[in-house]
Chains A and B, each alone.
Chain A
């Protein structure tokens, strides 16, 4: 099985590639709609501004093939912005549309804490999680973001707290998303990526 990494120009693509390579997984990066339609497993990394990702999906005609592949059941992992774009929209650029595969809107984290939420934090598991299987509940993951998806969503399997509680891990059938960066989260992140590869195989 090969993982197709959607490359819209996000800075964290090389580190995602390296993390997959260390796990012995084959990957290709693409920005072509045809490759997305053909993919066996999809990974959408993201970092930076929401509008850059939402705009790239439209300008490069990736939105339709991506939604179609996810509806068809192709295993998908969204990282950081790649999780946020699964929802309807984001307060970071309210005029743009998300993929609306999950209900709810991405909001700014509250201003009574330091932003960006940057560094290593723990998560609280809400329910059984396939992505987090075998991972010690006390481990830390690396976060770097100022906006977050609501934890009230039925697909949230783990939450994190920084000024407010938000979705750290979402799982809905074949659709997985993590707000933190597994490719930057040492052993724990590597284990999570390993779990995704196993689920996708």
Chain B
């Protein structure tokens, strides 16, 4: 009996529709968030993440409506984010039905945002999303959708985020994102061992073996992917069965 490793589908949206792209560019439509949420809830996903990757202020109400529609389909936890800049933004997302809020660029600019959210909703509701890009022997924190370097070390920022009250790290390898060559196990292990909170690995997944590797080699607590689930390339139930048979503790059958 121990904590299961989680499989988390991610819905990257433009506020309304699920979109997909490689290395954060070249977006195309990939479906209705509510329909996908209902499917993943039924197929045994352990949680769901929904992000507003456009994150424009004037389209915020549309995204909040998307969160409400997605939440109504779920009997599993929901994390939402993208463009969260203030405590009030976080409140709106929680009120719309999210259990957890992710913060990224705005938290790098103003780290107190993490403490403000954590004080109000508890550490378990605050997910610090970090986009990491390799730079020699280190990884740099990237902001603005992975396009700009914040000139900060990922390990150091992860530790600071946790000390400020983040209850989880959503770690995306910008180098691997969209490549489908596998998660960055080295990056993930380094962060997972550096912090006391769970780490969700993201970026680069395609094959079931990639998930075995990220749990066994990368010490991830959860693994996130998007298009391989949306396209039906990797059904969740079959993935969990594969993990189970390869000695990874998962919630299966589910």
User: Interface size of A by Cβ–Cβ distance < 8 Å?
Assistant: 38
Asked whether any CB of chain B lies closer than 8 Å to the CB of A183, the reply is: yes
Asked whether any CB of chain B lies closer than 8 Å to the CB of A162, the reply is: yes
Q: Is the CB of A119 within 8 A of B221?
A: yes
**Could you say which of A18, A145, A184 contacts B77, with CB atoms under 8 Å apart?**
A184
**Could you say which of B2, B74, B125, B221 contacts A121, with CB atoms under 8 Å apart?**
B2
Q: Is the CB of B75 within 8 A of A146?
A: no
Q: A140 and B4 in contact (CB under 8 A), knowing A114-B221, A119-B46?
A: yes
Q: A119 and B123 in contact (CB under 8 A), knowing A111-B196, A114-B221, A124-B1?
A: no
Interface residues of B in 76-110 (CB under 8 A from A): 76-77, 94, 97, 99
**Could you say which of B121, B123, B198 contacts A11, with CB atoms under 8 Å apart?**
B121
Q: A118 and B198 in contact (CB under 8 A), knowing A11-B125, A47-B125?
A: yes
Please name all residues of chain A whose beta carbon is closer than 8 Å to the beta carbon of B222 when the two chains form the complex: 119
Q: Is the CB of A18 within 8 A of B72?
A: yes
Q: Of A32-40, A83-91, A96-104, A185-193, which binds chain B?
A: A185-193
Q: Is the CB of B75 within 8 A of A184?
A: yes
Q: A119 and B4 in contact (CB under 8 A), knowing A114-B198, A146-B124?
A: yes
Q: Which residues of chain A have a CB within 8 Å of any CB of chain B? A: 11-12, 14-15, 18-19, 22, 47-49, 111, 114-124, 140, 142, 144-146, 160-162, 181, 183-187, 189-190
Can you name 30 A-B residue pairings with CB atoms under 8 Å? Answer: A15-B74, A15-B97, A15-B99, A19-B75, A47-B124, A48-B122, A48-B125, A114-B198, A116-B167, A116-B198, A117-B3, A118-B168, A119-B3, A119-B222, A120-B251, A121-B2, A122-B1, A124-B1, A140-B251, A144-B99, A145-B124, A146-B123, A184-B75, A184-B76, A184-B77, A185-B75, A186-B41, A186-B76, A189-B75, A190-B75
Q: Which residues of chain B have a CB within 8 Å of any CB of chain A? A: 1-6, 41, 46, 71-72, 74-77, 94, 97, 99, 119-125, 167-168, 196-198, 221-222, 251, 254
Given contacts A119-B3, A119-B221, A142-B77, 6 further A-B contacts (CB under 8 A): A118-B168, A120-B4, A120-B6, A120-B251, A184-B75, A186-B254
